[in-house]
Amino acid sequence: MERLLTNLNIALDAILANTLRSVLTALGIIFGVAAVITMLAIGEGAQAEVLRQIELVGVNNIEVKPIVEQKDEKLQEDPVTETKKFSKGLDLSDAASILSVIPSVKAISPEVIIETFVISSGRRRSTKLIGVKPSYFPVSNIPLRYGQMFSENHIQNQDPVCIIGSGMAKKLFPGERVLGKKIKVGSQWLTIIGVSQTLNITAKAKENLGIRDYNMDIYAPITTILSRYRDRARLKEARGRDDDDEDENKIYNYHQLDRLVIQIDDSEYLESSAEVISRLLKRKHNQVVDFEIIIPQQLLEQQQRTKDIFNLVLSAIAGISLLVGGIGIMNIMLASVLERTKEIGTRLAIGAKKQDIITQFLFEALLISLNGGIIGVVLGLLASFLVSEFTDIETIVSPMSIVISFGFASITGLVFGLSPAQKAAQKNPVESLRYE
């Protein structure tokens, strides 16, 4: 232990005697460690963002959206004719069929979305009125903050009740309890029976997933919306009875539903279930492809894979920085061995062993790389903070990323310091003392 401490003190003296050179030698290690920590922080932040987005869209969900402009599905056995096929559009019967026919479906949530306004206590705000069933909230991972859920009586009786988002509650009734209060939504008065939990929805999530701000929505039973506000299925029937007054070239939104979310038991069945849903809807819609099927989880996983590849490339670049830093340490240590030949000869002549010389120079290389690692960790933390502060990229620095980068810095110092240390130990004491 005494020998080790002596060799460590000699290594420290040598580094302090050439502080500037030691810092310059460690630059590769510094930037390499900082780059590794920053890249891992960006990767962790991206993964956390993807997980939050998956929670927002719901786990194992398939989304069906209507397309207003129809496209005919040409079958091989059918001749191509100019006869135009018509579809009834996406409606509640589709939701019932999917739920009853496909065994992998756990729950289904049809939605009707109306752009309207809400008035309360002289305040008027634009909002989205969403017609839903009680299954909407667990499927979309939107828990109630307080109040009650829509009951079967609410659904069957088409009651004028609603659940409002937490953000809308704060805007309309700041600091007040809202249960039992009435608000005018569009042309109808609705009684508030519940308030949804606040959801943290980032701008990136809105952009990537095309989702709205659920905190500002108002939810009512879907039967209430269809009976008291708008039912496109009935409007379509009315237009069908008066075709002479309609412009044939005008495109109408004939879909009863604006969105259909299907929750699957297991992610393993997402693709196969989506294929079955597609075939079922084509058959019910007279082979008209007036819908699109989206699997948000797969889109997010693909996005995560793309980010992982990007982070892998950047981490490889950071690794190259560490390699360059290691080569720099080796070069400087070789130069140091050459210029300290007399010192090495003197130590060997007064009784130092070859192992002492190896230990001395390994300590020097290791201390340089460790100091570089410490500075690199500080720079990496600072860079991660700046990236998160001044860009739209979330960063999360984990203790493991610091341990990994610091460990690589230590290994780099040992590996690239070993050869110069061995070369120093092999010097002949007599020739070293004569060296000028």
In whole angstroms, give the CA distance from residue 241 to residue 289: 24
Residue 83 has pLDDT above 70, yes or no: no
Answer yes or no: are the C-beta atoms of 330 and 417 closer than 8 Å. Answer: yes
Residue 64 has pLDDT above 70, yes or no: yes
**160/182 same-domain check:** yes
The upper half-sphere exposure of residue 162, i.e. CA atoms within 13 Å in the direction of its Cβ, equals 29
**87/169 same-domain check:** yes
Three-state DSSP state, 367: helix
- Residue ending a domain, among 237, 270, 295, is 295
In whole angstroms, give the CA distance from residue 48 to residue 14: 46
> What is the average pLDDT value for the chain, to the nearest integer?
79
Classify each residue of 38-49 as buried b or exposed e, where b means 16 or more C-beta atoms within 10 Å of its C-beta. bbbbbbbbbbeb
**253/345 same-domain check:** no
**Which tokens is 70 given?**
């129809």
- Residue ending a domain, among 295, 310, 342, is 295
Summarize the confidence of residues 325-342 as an average pLDDT.
74
What are the beta bridge partners of residue 164?
A: 195, 218
Three-state DSSP state, 421: helix
pLDDT level of residue 82 (50, 70, 90 thresholds) = very low
Task: Look at 103-117, 299-313, 346-360 and tell me which has the smallest mean pLDDT.
Answer: 299-313
Instruction: Tell me the pairing of strands 217-221 and 123-132.
Output: parallel
Structure confidence by residue, pLDDT tens digits, 373-406: 888 889 989 988 888 888 877 788 888 878 887 7
Domain of 420, in residue numbers: 2-53+302-434
**11/85 same-domain check:** no
In whole angstroms, give the CA distance from residue 20 to residue 176: 65
**286/234 same-domain check:** yes
Structure confidence by residue, pLDDT tens digits, 193-232: 999 988 776 665 555 555 677 888 999 999 999 999 988 8
**Which tokens is 34 given?**
């900082």
Structure confidence by residue, pLDDT tens digits, 151-173: 989 999 999 999 999 999 998 88
Q: Supply the DSSP symbol for 214.
A: G
Summarize the confidence of residues 414-420 as an average pLDDT.
76
Which one, of 90, 73, 54, 95, lies nearest residue 298 by Cα? 54
pLDDT at 244: 46
DSSP calls for 383-401? HHHHHHHHSS------HHH
Which one, of 379, 351, 363, 365, lies nearest residue 409 by Cα? 365
Which one, of 96, 162, 178, 156, lies nearest residue 127 by Cα? 162
Measure CA of the first residue to CA of the last residue in the chain; give whole Å.
Answer: 33
What one-letter code names the amino acid at 215? Answer: N
- Neighbouring residues of 262: CB distance < 8 A, sequence distance ≥ 6: 61, 62, 63, 64, 98, 105, 107, 108, 109, 273, 277
Residue 190 has pLDDT above 90, yes or no: yes
**206/275 same-domain check:** yes
pLDDT level of residue 94 (50, 70, 90 thresholds) = very high
**109/200 same-domain check:** yes
Residue 276 has pLDDT above 80, yes or no: yes
Q: How many domains does the chain have?
A: 2
The alpha helices in 102-187, defined as continuous H runs, are: 136-139, 152-157, 166-172
In whole angstroms, give the CA distance from residue 284 to residue 274: 15
Q: How far is CA 153 from CA 2, 76, 136, in A?
A: 85, 48, 17
- Neighbouring residues of 32: CB distance < 8 A, sequence distance ≥ 6: 318, 319, 320, 321, 322, 323, 324, 325, 376, 405, 408, 409, 412
pLDDT at 134: 92
pLDDT at 392: 72
- Residue ending a domain, among 262, 295, 328, is 295
What one-letter code names the amino acid at 240? Answer: G
pLDDT at 300: 59
In whole angstroms, give the CA distance from residue 219 to residue 347: 84
**126/16 same-domain check:** no
Answer yes or no: are the C-beta atoms of 197 and 205 closer than 8 Å. Answer: no
**24/158 same-domain check:** no
Residue 130 has pLDDT above 50, yes or no: yes
**112/17 same-domain check:** no
Which one, of 279, 271, 143, 128, lies nearest residue 199 by Cα? 143
**108/136 same-domain check:** yes
**93/188 same-domain check:** yes
In whole angstroms, give the CA distance from residue 342 to residue 363: 19
Residue 280 has pLDDT above 70, yes or no: yes
